[in-house]
């Protein structure tokens, strides 16, 4: 009798075990998925910070912004959401006309006038470049400017000889294109590269009124350098050796006031090599 009772009890317990709902294991898979997603998101963020964008049209902002003022050939003001924003155009440097610290430079008026002809009364699209940061040292927004018909304004000014290719420190997205455009303008003697570009200004003005625009006009010919304020960019030097000399003369890593050594390895303006 006892054996029969035991067997019956075992059978009941077995049936209960079969029909009882099974508990699912802890949700380790979703947790692993969440971790993977987080890692992937971090990787995507890292790429977004350090990688220069491709030339896809998707990189350009689809919105257009009206130009409210042309300061000179490489600086314009646009209206963004009701606020006037000053833009410093990446990769382009035109002769000075608006800087009160400097005389009007050769071909500066022509460059400013050409910019006004193209931009005044028009709207533009903007493209930023993560490699250059958002603002320059004067607080101006750094950007590439495109007309609504797709014309690349920064490059156009260089192509027509109204400005130089300009690398502040780090290489930027369109650097190769801009350098090729400058070379082509120089070879074909367009704009400021013309043999007669500054003859009219020279004959009508004293030397103190018009300065001939040279890439290294802020570098001292005497071998001494300005080491008390940020006065130089990598593009002000013809060679890496020249930039290195100025860097070391001002104290090297202990006083990199011009921010020529972007990665802190003691070697400056390495894009010039």
pLDDT per residue as tens digits for the range 173-195: 999 999 999 999 999 999 999 98
Partner residues linked to 76 by β-bridges: 70, 87
What pLDDT digit, counting tens, does each position of 128-166 carry?
A: 999 999 999 899 999 999 999 999 999 999 999 999 999
Q: Contact, 196 vs 104, CB < 8 A?
A: no
101 is catalytic: no
Cα separation, 205 vs 202, in Å, equals 5
Residues 192 and 64 in one domain: yes
Q: What secondary structure does DSSP assign to 68-126, as a single string?
A: EEEEETTEEEEEETTEEEEEEETTEE---SS-TTSPEETTHHHHHHHHHHHHTT-EEEE
Catalytic residue chosen out of the listed positions 110, 114, 140, 182: 140
Rounded to an integer, the average pLDDT of 124-128 is 97
Question: Could you tell me which of 263, 268, 265 has the C-alpha nearest to residue 234?
Answer: 268
CA distance between the termini of the chain:
100
State the pLDDT at residue 106: 82
Residues 192 and 253 in one domain: no
> Could you tell me where the beta strands, DSSP code E, fall in the chain?
65-72, 75-80, 83-89, 92-93, 104-105, 123-127, 141-147, 164-165, 210-211
201 band by pLDDT with thresholds 50, 70 and 90: low
Report the chain's C-alpha Rg in angstroms.
31
SS3 at position 239:
coil
Residues 207 and 220 in one domain: no
pLDDT above 60 (res 40): no
Widest distance between CA atoms in the chain: 131
Rounded to an integer, the average pLDDT of 16-29 is 56
Q: Which two tokens stand for residue 14?
A: 């077995």
Residues 176 and 233 in one domain: no
Cα separation, 113 vs 126, in Å, equals 21
Element (H, E) at 130: none
Q: Contact, 238 vs 246, CB < 8 A?
A: no
Q: Is residue 25 part of a domain?
A: no
Question: ∠ CA(55), CA(119), CA(79), 5° rounding?
Answer: 85
88 is catalytic: yes
Q: Is residue 21 part of a domain?
A: no
Q: Which domain holds residue 234?
A: 216-273
Give the position of tokens 């570098």.
219
Residues 104 and 148 in one domain: yes
Residues 125 and 230 in one domain: no
Residues 123 and 148 in one domain: yes
114 is catalytic: no
Q: Of the residues 211, 227, 249, which one is the last residue of a structural domain?
A: 211
Residues 238 and 207 in one domain: no
């Amino acid at each position: 009798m006892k054996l029969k009772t035991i067997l019956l009890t075992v059978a009941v317990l077995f049936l209960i075990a079969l029909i009882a709902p099974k508990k699912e294991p802890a949700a380790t898979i979703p947790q692993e998925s969440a971790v993977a997603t987080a890692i992937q998101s971090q990787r995507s963020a890292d790429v977004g910070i350090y990688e220069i964008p491709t030339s896809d049209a998707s990189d350009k902002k689809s919105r257009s912004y009206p130009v409210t003022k042309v300061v000179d050939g490489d600086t314009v003001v646009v209206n963004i959401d009701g606020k006037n924003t000053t833009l410093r155009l990446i990769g382009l440097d035109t002769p000075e006309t608006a800087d009160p610290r400097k005389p009007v430079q050769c071909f500066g008026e022509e460059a400013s006038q050409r910019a006004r002809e193209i931009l005044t009364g028009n709207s533009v699209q903007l493209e930023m470049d993560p490699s250059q940061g958002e603002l320059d040292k004067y607080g101006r927004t750094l950007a590439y400017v495109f007309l609504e018909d797709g014309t690349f304004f920064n490059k156009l000014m260089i192509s027509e000889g109204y400005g130089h290719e300009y690398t502040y420190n780090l290489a930027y997205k369109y650097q190769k294109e801009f350098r090729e455009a400058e070379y082509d303008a120089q070879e074909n003697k367009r704009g400021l590269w013309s043999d007669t570009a500054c003859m009219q200004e020279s004959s009508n003005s004293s030397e103190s009124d018009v300065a001939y625009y040279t890439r290294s006009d802020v570098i001292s010919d005497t071998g001494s350098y300005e080491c008390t304020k940020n006065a130089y960019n990598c593009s002000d030097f013809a060679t890496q050796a020249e930039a290195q000399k100025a860097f070391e003369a001002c104290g090297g890593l202990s006083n990199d006031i011009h921010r020529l050594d972007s990665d802190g390895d003691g070697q400056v303006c390495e894009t010039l090599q």
